[in-house]
């Protein structure tokens, strides 16, 4: 490798000829580029509202639908990463930004995807008139809203709990804020962010049927994709089509696993907070082919050189702050904080006033209280789901996270299970409820667990796998076992990650209620009493005032819980249970 690097950066003219693996890599890359270009072209064809897009249950169309779904999810993931790096970092670095960004994330993660689509679809269609790009952007935005929030919260939590010795190392090497971010903070946050990226992809699968079917002015726009294929299969009660789409989903998930997540997990191994490497590496077909190539290694070395130039760019290096300027800045801080609090208070009061005026001038007081009662019923389901999911998956996540070999093998399995859309279980649930005359109010709750439990599992696995080996060895030397081992090592170590998972799980549970409280298979539809079924009903009708009321009530419950429960747990996790030695 050193010889290869010398050839690139010293101007050597020694020729390196491509081998068989170079041909395989280049051919695969070119084929992927052609497919992406063709898929992007198909997603921007002319379109007018009212036009019906062809959709068939013929399995021969599944590769085409899988490509469209793959592109939508990939674009949404890119925007989610961009949002995470910008806004999560801003919230972690600025107290003022934190006071706005984190509550907004708490609210938006609980907003139903179907309600967001009902409000934003018209804007996207107006932005791209006469083109299918408008509905496509709306679908990508809906998938984005199902991916981004847990990634942003995970990255924010990691930046707030960077170990003290890493911060001191950054000061010793005189790193600028830009260099410290890329050299210290991003590497430290990478393991947790990767597991939440996997969870985000799984969440986008869960809400794919809603994202690829958008409604505007009582007109439903069904975009070709795996999600719309699932919805059509459920509508026609076609079990064969359900089997075909499960197979197609498995193929897409394996592609993501081998081409994206496995290489990233292998790359993130060097960022663990411990003095020695674990020695465990995740096998990836992508890494295997890349290491066998000759010419493609030049690309890797050029990438390393380019990334070094990006991180060490000169104009972003900070100059040391003078003492006089620091004193002046400190004097101005109190006044600016007061003005900021006044501004935030006025903004919040104005927003609430406008919202209350809209609701109470459009709807009656009895309708408002009815929505509040429905929200309380759904809130009880959310609380039940969180308790059950925590009792089941915290021990399982700890067991997996403490065993790197098990985590490597379990990661694609867990991702596949988490990606399984609850809609595909509707035939079983609906049939059991109808056949045994079960209570709908109780037995639709397991569908909410399917969209919630994985947030807790993925974050607990990330927390357990991030425990430094030195700390585990020290605990073993003291002979801690049983409950004492849990109380002194495991629970404090995973607590920040668990709180992040619980917050996103709570938001996911509120969001999942939209799907879970209305279960259908063929001509049979079961509706449970709750805010999720309420929002679904009026979103299908396109009744904007009732949609706003339902979303407002849901936001109210989420804000109360976040302010008095989750926010305090989050502060406790950052102050007492971080690796700031």
More confident residue, 430 or 443: 443
Instruction: Please say if the pLDDT value at position 196 is more than 90.
Output: no
pLDDT 10s digits, 526-540: 788 888 888 888 877
Q: Which domains does the chain have, with CATH numbers?
A: 43-273+358-576 (1.10.3720.10)
Residue 546: both structure tokens together = 């009732």
Residue 6 binned pLDDT confidence (cut-offs 50, 70, 90) = very low
DSSP 8-state assignment for residue 347 = H
Instruction: Please say if the pLDDT value at position 4 is more than 50.
Output: no
Residue 419 binned pLDDT confidence (cut-offs 50, 70, 90) = low
DSSP 8-state assignment for residue 216 = E
Look over the chain and give the mean of its residue pLDDT values, rounded to a whole number: 78
Q: What is the average pLDDT across 469-476?
A: 80
Give the pLDDT of residue 75.
92
Instruction: Please say if the pLDDT value at position 295 is more than 50.
Output: yes
Residue 276 binned pLDDT confidence (cut-offs 50, 70, 90) = very low
Cβ atoms within 10 Å of 238's Cβ, excluding its own: 15
d(CA 127, CA 331): 46
Residue 552 binned pLDDT confidence (cut-offs 50, 70, 90) = confident
Query: Residues near 573 by Cβ (< 8 Å), separated by ≥ 6?
Result: 157, 161, 495, 496, 499
Residue 13 binned pLDDT confidence (cut-offs 50, 70, 90) = very low
Residue 559: both structure tokens together = 């804000």
Q: In 73-124, where do the E strands start and end?
A: none
Give the pLDDT of residue 89.
92
Residue 209: both structure tokens together = 């049927």
Instruction: Please say if the pLDDT value at position 270 is more than 80.
Output: no
d(CA 35, CA 493): 44
Q: In 470-560, where do the E strands start and end?
A: 518-521, 524-527
Instruction: Please say if the pLDDT value at position 435 is more than 80.
Output: no
Instruction: Among 62-71, 255-264, 408-417, name the one with the lowest average pLDDT.
Output: 408-417
Give the pLDDT of residue 9.
43
Residue 421 binned pLDDT confidence (cut-offs 50, 70, 90) = low
Residue 77 binned pLDDT confidence (cut-offs 50, 70, 90) = very high
d(CA 169, CA 247): 49
Is residue 215 a contact partner of residue 139, using CB atoms and an 8 Å limit?
Answer: no
Q: What percent of the chain has pLDDT over 70?
A: 80
* Residue 372: Cβ-neighbour burial (10 angstroms; 0-12, 13-18, 19+): middle
Q: What is the average pLDDT across 551-560?
A: 82
d(CA 84, CA 98): 13
Instruction: Please say if the pLDDT value at position 192 is more than 50.
Output: yes
Residue 55 binned pLDDT confidence (cut-offs 50, 70, 90) = confident
- Which of 21-30, 159-168, 385-394, 551-560 tops mean pLDDT? 385-394
Going from the C-alpha of 328 to that of each of 324, 473, 550, 581, the distances in angstroms are 6, 48, 48, 32
Give the pLDDT of residue 219.
63
Give the pLDDT of residue 68.
92
Instruction: Please say if the pLDDT value at position 522 is more than 70.
Output: no
HSE value, Cβ hemisphere, 13 Å, CA-based, for 483:
0
Give the pLDDT of residue 403.
85
pLDDT 10s digits, 242-251: 888 888 888 8
Residue 394 binned pLDDT confidence (cut-offs 50, 70, 90) = very high
More confident residue, 37 or 408: 37
Q: What percent of the chain has pLDDT over 90?
A: 7
CA angle 242, 458, 411 (to 5 degrees): 65
pLDDT 10s digits, 303-360: 777 777 777 776 555 554 444 454 555 554 555 666 666 766 776 677 667 767 766 6
Give the pLDDT of residue 115.
65
Give the pLDDT of residue 314.
65
Torsion of CA 355, 135, 538, 523, to 10 degrees: -160
Q: What is the average pLDDT across 465-482?
A: 80
pLDDT 10s digits, 477-510: 887 788 888 888 888 888 888 888 888 888 778 8
């Amino acid at each position: 490798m050193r010889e290869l690097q010398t050839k690139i950066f010293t101007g050597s003219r020694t020729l390196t000829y491509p081998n068989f693996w170079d041909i395989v890599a280049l051919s695969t890359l070119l084929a992927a580029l052609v497919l992406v270009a063709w898929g992007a072209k198909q997603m921007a064809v002319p379109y007018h509202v009212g036009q019906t897009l062809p959709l068939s249950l013929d399995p021969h169309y599944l590769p085409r639908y899988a490509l469209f779904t793959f592109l939508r999810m990939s674009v949404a993931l890119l925007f989610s990463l961009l949002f995470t790096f910008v806004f999560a970092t801003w919230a972690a670095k600025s107290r003022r930004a934190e006071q706005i960004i984190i509550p907004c994330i708490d609210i938006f993660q609980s907003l139903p995807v179907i309600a967001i689509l009902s409000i934003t679809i018209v804007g996207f269609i107006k932005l791209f008139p006469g083109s299918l790009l408008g509905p496509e952007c709306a679908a990508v935005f809906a998938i984005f809203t199902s991916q981004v929030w847990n990634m942003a919260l995970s990255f924010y939590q990691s930046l707030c709990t960077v170990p003290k010795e890493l911060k001191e190392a950054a000061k010793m090497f005189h790193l600028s804020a830009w260099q410290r971010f890329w050299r210290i903070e991003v590497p430290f946050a990478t393991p947790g962010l990767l597991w939440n990226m996997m969870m985000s992809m799984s969440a986008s699968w869960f809400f794919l049927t809603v994202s690829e079917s958008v409604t505007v002015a009582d007109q439903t726009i069904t975009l070709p994709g795996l999600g719309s294929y699932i919805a059509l299969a459920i509508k026609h009660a076609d079990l064969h089509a359900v089997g075909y789409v499960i197979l197609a989903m498995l193929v897409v998930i394996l592609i993501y696993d081998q081409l994206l997540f496995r290489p990233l997990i292998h790359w993130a191994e060097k960022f663990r907070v411990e003095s020695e490497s674990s020695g465990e590496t995740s096998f990836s077909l992508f890494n295997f082919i890349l290491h066998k190539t000759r010419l493609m290694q030049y690309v890797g070395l050029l990438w390393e050189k380019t990334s070094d130039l990006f991180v060490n760019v000169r104009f972003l290096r900070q100059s040391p702050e003078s003492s006089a300027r620091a004193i002046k800045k400190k004097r101005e801080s109190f006044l600016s904080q007061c003005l900021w609090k006044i501004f935030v208070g006025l903004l919040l009061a104005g927003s609430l006033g406008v919202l209350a005026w809209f609701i109470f001038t459009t709807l009656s007081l009895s309708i408002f209280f009815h929505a509040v009662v429905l929200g309380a019923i759904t809130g009880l389901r959310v609380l039940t789901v969180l308790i059950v999911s925590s009792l089941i998956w915290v021990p399982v996540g700890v067991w997996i996270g403490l065993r790197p070999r098990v985590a490597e093998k379990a990661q694609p399995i867990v991702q596949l299970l988490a990606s399984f859309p609850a809609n595909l279980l509707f035939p079983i649930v609906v049939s059991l409820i109808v056949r045994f005359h079960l209570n709908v109010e109780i037995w639709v709750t397991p569908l909410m667990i399917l969209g919630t439990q994985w947030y807790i599992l993925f974050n607990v696995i990330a927390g357990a796998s991030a425990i430094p080996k030195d700390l585990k060895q020290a605990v073993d030397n003291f002979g801690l076992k049983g409950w004492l081992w849990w109380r002194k090592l495991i629970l404090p170590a995973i607590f920040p990650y668990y709180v992040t998972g619980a917050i996103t799980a709570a938001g996911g549970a509120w969001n999942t209620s939209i799907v879970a409280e209305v279960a259908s298979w063929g001509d049979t539809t079961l509706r449970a009493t709750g805010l999720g079924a309420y929002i679904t009903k009026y979103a299908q009708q396109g009744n904007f005032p009732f949609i706003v009321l339902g979303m407002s009530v849901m936001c109210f419950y989420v804000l109360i819980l976040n302010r008095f429960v989750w926010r305090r747990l989050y502060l406790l996790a950052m102050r007492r249970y971080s690796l700031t030695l």
